[in-house]
Amino acid sequence: MGNLFIIATPIGNLKDITLRAVETLFSLDLLLCEDTRKTKRLLDFYKENLKLLPNNEWLNINFNSLPQLLSFFEENEAYRLPYVLAALSQNQNVGLVSNAGTPGISDPGFSLVSYCIKNNIPVITIPGSSAVISGLSISGFSADKFTFLGFLPKKSGKQVQIWTKLFNSSLDQTIIFYESPFRIKKTLSTLQTVFGDIEVGIARELTKIHENFCLLPISQWLSKLNTPLKGELVVMFRMQKS
């Protein structure tokens, strides 16, 4: 039986990858990709830029060994599953990557991992970048307890249900979620209706040239957002017991 490797890739800066991840990527038989074109560009980048690394006995990367790339995303996950399981049963090593960050964290892959665990197929993590953890680490909010909500529902009514449930829980914790720059103003307005004018931190373009984190009351964000933000957003606030 082969192994399934869950491989984290950079969320922006391409240098944010472990040598173990590169070593694994170039040792696989099959690599499942959210977008094969993006993953091919990633592999080409490391092949071009890391092949001059000095040989070390602890480093074993064969840049001439490229895995088969297979698209694997939410809409075709169920369709691909039999093919992937057949490869694993034939002692092939299979990797899973998303377009950025850690697979399975608001990305495809959890159903495949769940199936493998239930069927005693080894699942190995190759850790690395994660936008939720990176954002939390620079927020100044306590991370002793936090709830990650992923991407919120688009409809305000469903968001209000989520905020109301959290508000009524009275838990002392940090709340963190992902949001689009096109929806952030509406989301903050909805958040304000439940929690009031609380301070909210927004991290954007993490690990990229224009990386930025700012902490402001919602009222100031709503004024500031007359000029739309750019880039992917990680949004955080702290709930405290009243």
pLDDT digits (tens), the chain, 242 positions: 899 999 999 999 999 999 999 999 999 999 999 999 999 999 999 998 887 666 656 678 888 889 999 999 888 888 898 999 999 999 999 999 999 999 988 777 888 999 999 989 999 999 999 999 999 999 999 999 999 999 999 999 999 999 999 999 878 999 999 999 999 999 999 999 999 999 999 999 999 999 999 999 999 999 999 887 888 899 999 987 65
pTM strictly above 0.75: yes
Do residues 26 and 66 touch, judged by C-beta distance below 8 A?
yes
Strand bridging mode 173-179 / 233-239: antiparallel
Q: Hey, where are the domains in the chain?
A: 4-129, 132-239
Do residues 135 and 206 touch, judged by C-beta distance below 8 A?
yes
Question: Topology of 132-239 in CATH?
Answer: 3.30.950
- What pLDDT is attached to residue 153? 94
Using alpha carbons, select from 136, 107, 102, 126 the residue that is nearest to residue 206: 136
Helix (H) / strand (E) element for 234: namely: strand 233-239
- What pLDDT is attached to residue 218? 97
Using alpha carbons, select from 63, 65, 39 the residue that is nearest to residue 51: 63
Question: Topology of 4-129 in CATH?
Answer: Cobalt-precorrin-4 Transmethylase; domain 1 (3.40.1010)
Distance of CA 109 to the CA centre of its chain: 12
In angstroms, the CA 190 to CA 157 distance is 9
Q: Taken in order 49, 51, 57, 62, is the CA torsion positive or negative?
A: positive
- What pLDDT is attached to residue 241? 65
Do residues 5 and 124 touch, judged by C-beta distance below 8 A?
yes
Strand locations in 75-129 (E): 94-97, 123-126
- What pLDDT is attached to residue 55? 62
Looking from the CA of 213 toward its CB, the CA atoms found within 13 Å total 18
Instruction: Let me know the angle formed at the C-alpha of 134 by 69 and 154, rounded to the nearest 5 degrees.
Output: 75
